[in-house]
Chain A
C-alpha cells in the first residue's frame, strides 16, 4: 500500500507525544502495536481499567525510553504458526556460550526441541534456554547482552 510507511511514522510520532502507554491499531490486515514498555506484547492481557483511573503521566514515556534505550517498539506481523521462545525469568540475554564464540543459533538454522538457543544470566549464574520445539529459527528478537524480562519473546521458530 502506497504511503503506508509515512502513515506508520506519523502514528509513532503521535503516540510519542500522546503520553499514552499503549496503542493497538488494526487496518486492512496491518496490525500496529506500540508501547512504552519494551516487554509489552500484543494481547498480553492488558487490564481494562475504568476511564477515571489515573494513568501514568506523559513524562513516563520519555524516561522509560531513556531507561530502556528502546522507544516505542513496533511489532510487524508475525505469522500465526510461528512459535515464540520466551524468557523463563528476567536476566541478561547472551547469544553465545562465551564472549567471542559463535552464537548458539542463527536465523534460518534448524533446531531440535532440545537445542540450546541462548544463555540467561542472573547475578553471574548462567542458565541455558532450550528451543522447546523442532523448527527453523525465523527471528532473533533481542540484542546480545540486553536485559530481558520474564515471558519476553527471545526468538521465533517456524515449526513447519
Chain B
C-alpha cells in the first residue's frame, strides 16, 4: 500500500470504521478530533489523535484549513474524509491535491459537477440515464393535455418559480387536469408572481434504490449491487438493506448498468452511490443524484459481497487500481442495517444526548455492530445523533429479519433515548416483513406512539 500515514477527518462510528481498515492494512493513522472527542474510541484506536479545536464543528471538523494543516503537520500522506462534514466539499479535495496529500475521494471538479443538482442531471442525460420525465414551461391547457398524454398519468404540475412543495397540483387523469390547470396558474401567479408551470410524471408509490460503485479514476467502474433505503423519515434513512429484493431482478440489472454508465462517463474515482427513485407501479427508475463519498449504509453491501469498501477506497485513491473485475463481485445472502440514533421517537425524534449507563450489544451469527459508543460514553450534544449501526445478515431476507428482530430485542442500552424501539416496531410490522412499503410509508403511519399502539390493538 502506497499510503503510509492516513489522516482521518471525521468522528464517531465512521472514524472507528476507517481506522480499523487502516490498521489491518498496516497504515499508521492520525485522527483529528474536537475537544469533545479527545477521549473517544477513535482517539484511543488511532496511532495518534490531535485536537483541532473546540467542540463546535465549525471550529473543528468543518474548518478545512485546520484539517489540512493538521494532516500536513503530522506527516500524513493521505486523508480520508468519511461522510458528512467536509467529505463532499470540493475545496478539501483541491487543497489536499495542492499539498501533495492523497485525497480519499473524487477530484474536486468531479465533486463540484456532481454536487450541483442540475449538473448531476446533465451528466445523467449525457450518459443516457433517465431522470424523472418532465416538460419545459407549459402555457396552455391544450399543451398540458398533450404533455400529460405523453408522460402518462398521474402527473404533477409545478410552479416554475416555486419550490419546497408549494404550488404543486397532482392530476390523476385528464378530467382532473381540466379542473385544476387554470387554478394552478392563478395560484402560481399569486404565490410567486409568475404563472408559468411545468409538468412531471408523478410517482405515486416510490422506493429509494441506490447502486454502490467504485471507480478507479481512469474510467473503469465496478458495481457492488444495490441497496434499498425506502424506510425514511423526512428524507432521513432509517433502515437500509441489500439486495433490493422488492425490485425485479431484470430491473436491478438495468439499474446497475445505468449507474456504471453514468459514473464511468465521469471517469469517477472513489466509492460512490448512484441514487434512484424506483417507480413501483411502472417498474421504472429515475436518477436522483450521485453521492461522492462512502455512505452510512455501506456495511450492508460489505456483508452481501464480503468486500471491504474502505480498503477499496484507499486502493483507488493511492492509484493502485481496483484489483478486481466485475465478475469477481458476487452478491450472496441478505443484510439489513438499522441506525441507532440518540433520539426520542416518542417526542418527535428530539435529540437525546447524555451518558450511556448500560450498553450490552447483541452478538450471534450474522450480527455486526459499527459503533463508537460503549458503557460510560457521553453522547455529546454537538453532532449528529447516530451512535451506532446494527447490521444483521442471513441466507435470505426472512432469516436476516428474524436475526435482526432477536438482536434488537437483546440490545440493552440505557441512558439516552434511542430509536431502537422504533426499529423493533418497523421490523415486526407486516408491511415491512412483506416488503410492500414506499418512501412515504413511515410518515403515513403518523406519530410513533400512536402508530405503535394502533398496531398493538390490531393484533
* Interface residue from A64, A121, A122, A152 paired with B48 (Cβ < 8 Å): A64
B378 contacts A47, CB within 8 Å?
yes
A64 contacts B47, CB within 8 Å?
yes
- Whether B369 sits at the interface, judged by CB under 8 Å, is no
Mark each residue of chain B from 370 to 406: 1 if its CB lies under 8 Å from any CB of chain A, else 0.
0000111110000000000000000000000000000
Mark each residue of chain B from 284 to 304: 1 if its CB lies under 8 Å from any CB of chain A, else 0.
000000000000000000000
A47 contacts B376, CB within 8 Å?
yes
* Interface range on chain B (Cβ under 8 Å from partner): 35 or more
Residues on B with beta carbons closer than 8 Å to the beta carbon of A60:
47-48
CB proximity of B6 to chain A, nearest CB, Å: 12
Give the docked Cα–Cα distance between A104 and B250 (Å).
72
- Whether A92 sits at the interface, judged by CB under 8 Å, is yes
Residues on B with beta carbons closer than 8 Å to the beta carbon of A90:
32, 50-53, 66, 69-70, 73
B66 contacts A122, CB within 8 Å?
yes
- Whether A147 sits at the interface, judged by CB under 8 Å, is yes
Residues on A with beta carbons closer than 8 Å to the beta carbon of B429:
none
Using CB atoms, name the residue of chain B closest to A49: B376
B39 contacts A151, CB within 8 Å?
no
B69 contacts A63, CB within 8 Å?
no
B74 contacts A147, CB within 8 Å?
yes
Using CB atoms, name the residue of chain A closest to B39: A47
* Interface residue from A46, A47, A67, A149 paired with B51 (Cβ < 8 Å): A149
Q: Which of A43-75 contact B (CB under 8 A)?
A: 44-50, 53, 55-56, 60, 63-64, 67-68
Mark each residue of chain B from 65 to 105: 1 if its CB lies under 8 Å from any CB of chain A, else 0.
11011100111000000000000000000010000000000
B69 contacts A91, CB within 8 Å?
yes
A53 contacts B374, CB within 8 Å?
yes
* Interface range on chain A (Cβ under 8 Å from partner): 20 to 34
CB proximity of A127 to chain B, nearest CB, Å: 11
Q: Which of B38-56 contact A (CB under 8 A)?
A: 38-39, 44-54
- Whether B420 sits at the interface, judged by CB under 8 Å, is no
Residues on B with beta carbons closer than 8 Å to the beta carbon of A53:
374, 376
How many residue-residue contacts, CB under 8 A, span A and B?
88
Q: Which of A120-160 contact B (CB under 8 A)?
A: 121-123, 125, 147, 149-152
- Whether A18 sits at the interface, judged by CB under 8 Å, is no
CB proximity of B357 to chain A, nearest CB, Å: 11
A50 contacts B375, CB within 8 Å?
yes
- Whether B30 sits at the interface, judged by CB under 8 Å, is yes
A149 contacts B376, CB within 8 Å?
no
Residues on A with beta carbons closer than 8 Å to the beta carbon of B73:
90, 92, 147
- Whether A37 sits at the interface, judged by CB under 8 Å, is yes
A123 contacts B69, CB within 8 Å?
yes
Residues on A with beta carbons closer than 8 Å to the beta carbon of B376:
47-50, 53
A45 contacts B74, CB within 8 Å?
no
- Whether A106 sits at the interface, judged by CB under 8 Å, is no
B48 contacts A63, CB within 8 Å?
yes
Q: Given A67-B74, A92-B73, A123-B69, does the pair A151, B51 have CB atoms closer than 8 Å?
A: yes
Known: A91-B66, A123-B65, A151-B51. 7 other contacts (CB 8 A): A50-B375, A63-B28, A67-B47, A90-B69, A91-B69, A123-B95, A147-B73
Q: A residues touching B (Cβ–Cβ < 8 Å)? A: 21, 37, 39, 44-50, 53, 55-56, 60, 63-64, 67-68, 88-92, 121-123, 125, 147, 149-152
Q: B residues touching A (Cβ–Cβ < 8 Å)? A: 5, 28, 30, 32, 34-35, 38-39, 44-54, 59-60, 63, 65-66, 68-70, 73-75, 95, 374-378
A-B contact pairs, 16 of them (CB 8 A): A39-B50, A50-B375, A53-B374, A60-B47, A60-B48, A64-B48, A67-B5, A67-B28, A89-B52, A90-B52, A123-B65, A147-B73, A147-B74, A149-B52, A150-B34, A150-B54
